[in-house]
Amino acid sequence: MSRAIEQGRTSMRRAITILGLAAFALLSLAAAACYDVTVEPAPAPEDGSDAAAAVAAVEAVLEQFEPGDGGGISVNGTGSVTVTPDIGVFDVGVEVTEETVALARAGAAEAMQRVRDAVAASGVEDRDVSTRSFNIYPQYDYSGEEGPPEIIGYTVNNWIEVKVRDIDSLSDILDDAVTAGGDAIRVGGISFRVDEPEQYSEEARMLAVEDARARAQQLADLAGVTLGDALSISESSGGFARQTFAVAEAGVAPHPTTPLKPRQRPVEGTGHQDFAIE
């Protein structure tokens, strides 16, 4: 009888030990997920006891939590360079409505050719003129009380984008295009850009990196720690913000010249850096 009781107690102790190891394994996995800890099986103790194995496993995990591990300083840095746009871009189109597609298309083609000729005569190269869209759609009469609406004509519109590299002549070129298009002219909008923004983006990027390190150094000084090397660097989107103006669909008189002037805009760079603490 006493032998059976002793065997039962031994089995109970083993069961408790196994439950303890299972709980430890779950806690170890959670710690590994949160702290990037590697959990490896501990070497089996010489006496073979389950309790000693549990203690050895706990010690193997705790050894990985050294003071200072996992610490660091994370900051964002920004850099900005102020530039003046050096090119102007405007969208201009023609729109003609006639009874037939053929008449509407012919009228739009003639008007657009006059616009393109005026732009070319103003000094804009052919490579700086590109088609944006070309559309044909019917016009309907919805006044009938019965039946479907009746097609009464067709509208053709044709849009181009014009890039002006001599920004001082932008107003004159736009006025010439509008005059050439006559009543069929439509102007979609004007924007000012930097032709080669990358040269300014590089400077803005450099300033962003310097700004991030300065911020990290200030935080380290306030915390009383020594700033270490950069561990990672990532760049956020940046660049030159286009300056856009809307223009009404109306003819512009030959005099005076339409006033247009760009304003200075920033080219920006932003980034994120992680620094070690020594």
Residue 233 forms part of a structural domain: no
**CA separation, residue 126 to residues 62, 93, 129 (Å):** 72, 16, 5
**Do residues 97 and 47 both lie within one domain?**
no
The first and second tokens of residue 231, run together, are: 């561990």
Domain membership of residue 238 (yes or no) is no
Domain of 96: which CATH number? 3.30.70.2970
How many separate domains does the chain show? 2
Provide the edge-to-edge strand list for the sheet that holds 73-83.
Answer: 73-83, 265-277, 227-240
Question: Is 248 part of any domain?
Answer: no
Question: pLDDT digit of tens for each residue in the chain (278 aa)?
Answer: 445 445 555 555 554 554 454 454 444 444 444 444 444 444 544 555 655 665 565 455 444 444 444 569 999 999 988 888 889 999 999 999 999 999 999 999 999 999 999 999 999 999 999 999 999 999 999 988 888 999 999 999 999 999 999 999 999 999 999 999 999 999 998 999 888 878 888 888 899 999 999 999 999 999 999 999 999 998 876 554 444 444 434 344 445 666 666 767 777 888 888 999 98
* pLDDT of amino acid 267: 77
Residue 51 within a domain: yes
> In this structure, are 189 and 91 located in the same domain?
yes
| Structural domain containing residue 173 | 87-193
- Can you tell me which residue has the tokens 């010249």? 257
Query: Do 47 and 92 belong together in one domain?
Result: no
Residue 29 is predicted with a pLDDT of 43
User: Which residue matches tokens 């032709």?
Assistant: 195
Q: Cα dihedral angle (129, 130, 133, 134), rounded to 10 degrees?
A: 80
**Would 240 be classed as within a structural domain?**
no
> What phi, psi does 114 have (nearest 5°)?
-65, -40
Final residue before a domain boundary, out of 193, 211, 237: 193
Q: Is the pTM of this model over 0.95?
A: no
Cα separation, 8 vs 21, in Å, equals 20
Tell which residue, 210, 212, 119, has the closest CA to residue 161. Answer: 119
Q: What's residue 278's pLDDT?
A: 87
Q: Do residues 189 and 245 make contact, with C-beta atoms less than 8 angstroms apart?
A: yes
In this structure, are 48 and 114 located in the same domain?
no
Answer yes or no: do 95 and 189 share one domain.
yes
96 lies in some domain: yes
pLDDT recorded at residue 146:
82
> Does 258 map to a domain?
no
pLDDT at residue 162, rounded to an integer: 97
Closest CA to 262 of 186, 142, 164, 185: 164
Q: How far is C-alpha 13 from the geometric centre of its chain's CA atoms?
A: 61
Among 16, 47, 62, give the residue marking a domain's end. Answer: 62
Are 112 and 49 in a shared domain? Answer: no
Listed residues 162, 193, 224: the one ending a domain: 193
Give the CA distances from residue 10 to residues 6, 24, 278, in Å, rounded to whole numbers and listed in that order: 6, 21, 51
16 occurs within a structural domain:
yes
122, 163 contact by CB (below 8 A): no
